[in-house]
Amino acid sequence: MNAERDLSPLTPGVVRALTDKLYEKRKVAALEIEKLVREFVAQNNTSQIKHVIQILSQEFALSQHPHSRKGGLIGLAACSIALGKDSGLYLKELIEPVLTCFNDADSRLRYYACEALYNIVKVARGSVLPHFNVLFDGLSKLAADPDPNVKSGSELLDRLLKDIVTESNQFDLVGFIPLLRERIYSNNQYARQFIISWILVLESVPDINLLDYLPEILDGLFQILGDNSKEIRKMCEVALGEFLKEIKKNPSTVKFAEMANILVIHCQAADDLIQLTAMCWMREFIQLAGRVMLPYSSGILTAVLPCLSYDDRKKNIKEVANVCNQSLMKLVIPEDDEMDEAKPPMAIPAEPTSEESLSRPEAVTTGSLDASGDSSNSGVFTVTSCERIQVTLNLDGIVQVLDYHLSDTSIGMMTRIAVLKWLYHLYIKTPRKMFRHTDSLFPILLRTLSDESDEVILKDLELLAEIASSPAGQTEEGHGPSDGSDVRPGPVELHVPARAGQLSSSSTKGLECSPSTPTMNSYFYKFMINLLKRFSTERKLLETRGAFIIRQLCLLLNAENIFHSMADILLREEDLKFASTMVHTLNTILLTSSELFQLRNQLKDLKTPESRNLFCCLYRSWCHNPVTTVSLCFLTQNYKHAYDLIQKFGDLEVTVDFLTEVDKLVQLIECPIFTYLRLQLLDVKNNPYLIKALYGLLMLLPQSSAFQLLSHRLQCVPNPELMQTTHLASRMENFTCGVAMETSRAGKEVYGERLQQLGGAPKASPLQPGQPSQHPKGAWHSANASG
């Protein structure tokens, strides 16, 4: 600054004092300036007031000399004090040079700038609000100042500004939000603390509706929630909690769709607090917004599904994620399966990568949460009829996410179970749309049968059974969908079992289905083919889980259909060893499983054409294994044929495996399943081939425990000659009846005379039909003696 330059109306003494290095002299100069400005105010001399402010700003506050800058700052503060209420007319000129000094390298000068601005704002009060953004921007920088004195001074100014905003109803929130959105991503702890404190203040002002602009700052808030400072994390947690309370109170004004993807991102955060908070928000959003969240289902599932396999260390996150998953699942309804492409689509914010075709308009509804949810259905947001919007179930995206998680071997058991439940739910609610994805899902569902968890396999079988039996899976002409792999060498026709009277000649060649069994869709036979193929290529699965899988399928589907179709497929199997093993497995299940009680009863009597047809189908495939064929004959009471087959065993190569199967058959004969067979051994006359067949098995066995077991059983077969006692017992019965009839006809006296006559006989003669005895007991003795 040029000292000789005319700076009137400031006197040379005032100018020298303002540039002095001592604070006391600068303060005296400031008092002179205040006195001078007061005189101009009294004279209403605005031009001189502006001139003084301009001099202090240009020649002092923005000077290159540090002491001059300090004098300019204290002089501007003195002008503001002198102006009083009129300072609002000159705020721009007063504030700008002070804010420039906020960036000064000298910490003392930054402190003086903060002090000067405090005095300016204190005088102007509400008049500073039009300049709030520049003040906020400057304060946000001072909040992170390394000098504690500067930071302390900025805190005083910050509190003053907050009081002004709280008292005023003229705050420009729309103009402030872009600055807040920018500053909220600061990584400095003090700046973050400053931002959160202002958000809490604005949120507490009734006239300021910050909720409308929450999508602008929500992501930044979750970023701050991951700060290393516990105090800042706590402040941010409080702010988010307040926003969530407000959302629950006024759900109709909340922009759920604009915040959905933000929550999806932070539900996958590595920080536990961020993830738990975001998951709690997601739970509330799904319940409050209902079907508005459906377009974001694939993203939500991407975030939620992995959390379901968390251990107890993240138990809270797991529980909230489970509620989110269940609530989202309930939003899918049968109407989502309807096709209504004629109506023009109405765009709503959705995931940027999804390509969606809109279904018919649906009201925004919600499914009830489980008991673990915090909110009740009373707070559900439903739009009015004039605001009714279309929501789209992004099925392609959902299936893609489910497929990915089911294919990932590192995913936990509970996640895989949840995926299978989702797929099952979608096949129930939207079968027509889901069957478009069946060909791509089928291989992974078959691979899932090799899972280590029984619960996963059970859910997988439920899903496969639904696919195989759903009417939506029926294709034209009863043929199954094309399969990319060759299941068996040579052509294999896939035919759907038809109902009674609907079997064509061509369909009976492919699958001899009993007319009494329920109709399966096109995927049923494909499922059976691929299941057997998997058993063939993965023998360990057959050994460890084969029986379990087939038994569960018999519960979920029609057991007769399953055995009928598998027998038909095995008839064409070229791997004879696998065919023999598979037939043995099926036979064991047929004879031992409680689930197949009705099927065994059906085969036991062969009274109906359906049961005979089933027996013929099974018999042809059971011939892959000689011993199982005999057991099937035992089950169906074809004892003569069983005996004929055993006679043929002499022509076969008797191996250890063969004898082992015979041993197992003997063990089965002793089981409750064959109780009727063992009882038939008492009727020697009518079941000679049963006894011969059992003796044939006995002759095949070496001297083993099975040999001893069957030998002891055959020793219990009664001697045919001993069975003649039945005739003798019949004669005694006739005699007793004769005595009773005579007694009734002749009376007591005639009966007494007959007894006297009989008493004179020297010796009891052998009993004859109709001949009375002296005493009933004597008659039994005489009968025994004559026998």
Contact 179, 146 (CB under 8 A): no
pLDDT in tens, 685-733: 899 999 999 999 999 988 889 899 999 999 988 877 655 554 545 555 5
Contact 382, 287 (CB under 8 A): no
The amino acid occupying position 366 is T
Task: Indicate if the alpha-carbon torsion angle 236, 239, 245, 247 is positive or negative.
Answer: negative
Gap between the Cα atoms of 145 and 455, Å rounded: 59
One of 3.40.50.300, 3.40.190.10, 1.10.760.10, 1.25.10.10 is the CATH number of 1-171, namely 1.25.10.10
| Low-confidence residues of the chain: pLDDT under 70 | 1-6, 339-389, 475-519, 721-787
Asked whether the bond before 518 is cis by omega within 30 degrees of 0, the reply is no
Q: What does 52-81 look like in DSSP terms, one character per residue?
A: HHHHIIIIIIT-SSHHHHHHHHHHHHHHHH
Please compute Rg for the chain using Cα positions: 48
Gap between the Cα atoms of 451 and 554, Å rounded: 20
The amino acid occupying position 708 is Q
* pLDDT at position 605: 83
* pLDDT at position 363: 33
**Alpha-helix runs per DSSP H in 479-625:** 505-510, 522-537, 539-556, 559-570, 576-592, 597-605, 609-622
Residue labelled with tokens 């005379």: 753
Contact 360, 392 (CB under 8 A): no
Gap between the Cα atoms of 240 and 225, Å rounded: 9
Residue labelled with tokens 């083993």: 704
- Whether 1-171 shares its CATH topology with 395-473 is answered yes
Gap between the Cα atoms of 160 and 165, Å rounded: 9
Tokens of 462: 């439920």
Gap between the Cα atoms of 416 and 422, Å rounded: 10
Contact 433, 359 (CB under 8 A): no
Contact 516, 558 (CB under 8 A): no
Instruction: Tell me 594's DSSP state.
Output: G
Fold type of domain 395-473 = Leucine-rich Repeat Variant (1.25.10)
Q: What is the pTM of this model?
A: 0.76
Write down the domain spans for the chain: 1-171, 395-473, 625-731
Gap between the Cα atoms of 261 and 194, Å rounded: 27
Count of Cβ atoms closer than 10 Å to residue 182 Cβ: 12
